[in-house]
Chains A and B, each alone.
Chain A
Amino acid sequence: MPQHGDSDNRSAVDILIASDRVPANARPDLLTEDDIWALLDEVKDPEVPAVSVVELGIVRAVHWDGKELSIDVTPTYSGCPATELIEELIAEALRAAGFRDPKINQVLTPAWTTDWITDEGKEKLRAFGIAPPEGSSSKMSLLGEPEVIACPHCGSKDTERVSEFGSTACKALYRCKECLEPFDYFKCI
């Protein structure tokens, strides 16, 4: 588990610690599905702590009938090493809210797409220094030229791709020719 120590990631760690002391007076039976979505919106992606697992579109569904709670989640990439950790963080957050036995189901269909990242999520990515995915995943060409990606630092569109693959599976590496800063691009899939 990464220990970045930055404030954005602290809430997830706090949740982990808090889960050791599930509040005895917690009344999850009073919570609605909307409340649970709001709760999950506090769980940040461990690799990209600027955005929550809800904003990234990783949480697909919440099923809550007042007794049994199950959450459908989908991995961003087949080999995303953060998948298990994200599932753990979600389960911990739910236990901290008093849910004793939340079920986390991994669903592969339909396959995750960057189109599911919310507009708010995209804005947060940009503010964090990661260029959000441009356009729709359905329009990606097989051998064609890549899209124009704006620099998240200065906004210039005079950028070049350094590598199709960046620091994590979901990102590509770019460089801004205007402000000369390198940056990650959350690539469209």
Chain B
Amino acid sequence: MNQKEALTEYLLRLADSDMILGQRLCELCGKAPALEEEMALMNVALDLVGQARNWYEYAADLIDDGRDADKLAYRRDAHDYRNLLLTEQPNEDYAVTMGRQFFFDVWHYFTLKSLVNASDERVAGIAAKALKEVTYHLRRSSEWVKRLGDGTEESHRRMQDAVDILWRFTGELITPDETDQLMAEAGIGPDPEQLKEDWRGLVKEVLQEATLTPQPDDAWMYMGGKRGEHTEHLGFILAEMQFLQRAYPDATTW
């Protein structure tokens, strides 16, 4: 794998994770537990889809085979998707929705914080914009984890359940593979060891304040999203998300 191939792969991972989590959040449109929560969820989703578009556009320029951002998002199948498994997990109850968001936001925040200083100017530019938005996402999701964890008996139980259910998908966030290593060496991606330390540090700090117990660092982890091996959920997400583009390819009037 040369550096251009690694960068393309890396951009698709960022784009796909943003896109799939954005799509997951949109499922709550019209169904959120409170109006303010609905607006917040959709705002976060909008940020993520906007960021996905920026990453897809860059990836499309590198791939240079005539596909644009829309085609990368709507015409690739599950095995071509490179999103983190965490992002495709179902919304379930609000503790799971917020727990998923929190684990992702911490990873997203530290990843972007590093990408802001990437040797690649375009990556740094997109990241600088996204980082401002994601700082708000993280502030909100960490507040929810604390509120639910350190709340009533039921909210605590549910939030702890969410941590236990989702923990197995977090190893992938901080376990580097060849692409991550190449990106770090190229001065683009974050240093994997630093990312791992930052992620674990902040997650544990917030969980502690929330009176929640993390699972052990060496717990068994599901991995594979970054190489296109997904849980059963992704196919269903894509079936809904891509329906229109698949049914009416290249339609220009909606």
Q: Which A residues are within 8 Å of any B CB, using their own CB?
A: 75, 77-81, 108-113, 137, 140, 142-143, 162-169, 173, 187, 189
How many A-B residue pairs have C-beta atoms within 8 angstroms? Tell me. 81
A173 cross-chain contacts in B, Cβ below 8 A: 36, 39
Q: Which residues of B contact A111 (CB under 8 A)?
A: 125, 128-129, 132
Question: B48 in the interface, Cβ–Cβ < 8 Å?
Answer: yes
Residues in A with CB closer than 8 Å to B132 are 111, 113, 137, 189
- Knowing A164-B140, A167-B39, the reply to whether A79 touches B128 (Cβ < 8 A) is no
Residues from chain B with a CB closer than 8 A to the CB of A163 are 36-37, 39-40
State whether B50 touches A77 (Cβ < 8 A). yes
Given A109-B125, A109-B128, A165-B44, A79–B135 Cβ distance below 8 Å?
no
State which size class the interface on B falls in. 20 to 34
Q: Please tell me which one of the listed residues A75, A162, A165 contacts residue B43 in the complex, with CB atoms under 8 A apart.
A: A165
Say whether chain A's binding surface is mostly helix, strand, loop, or mixed.
Answer: loop
Q: Is B86 an interface residue (CB 8 A)?
A: no
Q: For the complex formed, measure the closest distance between the CB of B141 and the CB atoms of chain A, giving whole angstroms.
A: 10
Contact with A along B107-137 (1 / 0, CB 8 A): 0010000000000010011101110110110
- A contact residues around B51 at 8 Å (CB): 78-79
Q: A109-B121, A109-B124 are in contact. Are A78 and B40 (CB under 8 A)?
A: no
Note all chain A residues with C-beta closer than 8 A to B80: none
Q: Mark B36-66, 1 if CB is under 8 A from A, else 0.
A: 1101100110111111011000000000000
Other contacts beyond A79-B47, A166-B43: 16, CB < 8 A: A75-B50, A78-B51, A78-B126, A78-B133, A79-B48, A79-B50, A80-B50, A108-B129, A109-B124, A111-B125, A111-B128, A143-B139, A163-B39, A164-B139, A165-B44, A169-B43
- Compute how far the CA of A142 lies from the CA of B133 in the bound complex, rounded to whole angstroms: 11
Q: Separation in Å of the B131 CB from the closest CB of chain A?
A: 8
Chain B nearest CB: distance from A178 CB in Å? 21
Residues of B within 8 A of A140 (CB): 135
**Minimum Cβ distance to chain B for residue A34 (Å):** 28
